Amino acid sequence: MAFTFNTAAAQGRFEVKPHVEVDMQRDSNFNHSESNEKTVHTYSVKPGIDLAYGSDKSEVSFDYFFQVFRYDDQDENTPGQVDADEYDYVAHNARFKAYTQFSPRLRLGLENTFWKTRDQANSDVNTNSVERYKYALNRLTPALLYEFGNKFGLGLKYTNLYTDYSDDDPGEGEDSTEHRGTMTWFYNLNTRTAFDLDLQYWNRDYDRNTSDYDSTQVMVNVTHHLIIFSSRPGWDITIGNLSETFRPEISTRWYGSSAASGPCPKVPWSCRLVPT
């Protein structure tokens, strides 16, 4: 559902989009246990609203939703297990975005995202943790994009990520701060083929026992668009150093593709394949 208002005097457009999602999930091993599996149903309702204002050179948007999670045990607890409804909670997500075309070649942007959740994947995309401690994250990202010509450009951005756990008891999460710098060089070979080189360096500082670390990541991507199909092969190299402990280099090749059709193409499906 969307309400759109055009204001000729301000030469801009204001949009309001309320939305709601309802979801049910069945998890046959809620605690990811090798021996004490338990089936749990998860019910969630996620209402929200998106606000946006745009003009010829600038755009500002604010999106917010909250999501109510309710858990329902389908099996009896074994010794040591707790009722799933002990983990019932309400998550919050708010995102502010703004950008402006400062000059014909320079574009400036600012984004801030706030989460309040129990989902550990939001704090670490590579985690396999089943812990459900409450925590909040705030990610602030100023950025700029400069085009040297029709084919070549440079993007720079800085990201500050702060993680704050509600409970500071030992073993119940650890606060941390991450500083990340990103530089992206891109080159448009022609109207259908583009190349970009992405360099990232970041430092993560933990408040207590977890080792602080520095990491560097290099990504090379080539995107080629056909009439109804686009391909995006790439190479991703990450080098990390956890305190005094050496962590070997991680190198990943990946291939992504998407299909589109119609006079104003929209992408109905996409995929990303990562060899292990």
Tens place of pLDDT per residue across the chain (276 aa): 333 334 433 457 899 999 999 999 998 888 777 778 889 999 999 999 999 999 989 999 999 999 999 999 998 888 778 888 888 999 999 999 999 999 999 999 999 999 998 876 555 555 555 667 889 999 999 999 999 988 899 999 999 999 998 876 666 778 899 999 999 998 988 878 888 899 999 999 988 888 888 999 988 888 877 655 555 555 655 555 544 443 444 444 444 544 443 344 443 343 444 443
Phi-psi region of 11 (alpha: psi -120 to 50; beta: other; left: phi over 0): left
> What are the residues facing 198 on neighbouring strands?
184, 219
Asked if 152 contacts 168 with a C-beta cutoff of 8 angstroms, the reply is no
DSSP state of 211: P
Domain ranges of the chain: 102-273
DSSP state of 77: P
What b/e readout covers 222-257, taking b as 16+ CB neighbours within 10 angstroms? ebebeeeebebebebeeebeeeeeeeeeeeeeeebe
102-273 fold: Porin (2.40.160)
**In what helix (H) or strand (E) does residue 239 lie, and over which residues does it extend?**
strand 229-242
Q: In Å, how far from its chain's centre is CA 191?
A: 28
- Nearest-angstrom CA–CA distance, 116 and 122: 10
In whole angstroms, how far apart are CA 273 and each of 53, 100, 255? 36, 35, 5
Query: Is-above-0.85 flag for pTM?
Result: no
What is the pairing mode between strands 12-27 and 213-225?
Answer: unpaired
Tell whether the torsion through CA atoms of 100, 105, 106 and 109 is positive or negative: positive
What are the residues whose beta carbons fall under 8 Å from the beta carbon of 246, sequence distance 6 or more? none
Asked if 23 contacts 56 with a C-beta cutoff of 8 angstroms, the reply is no
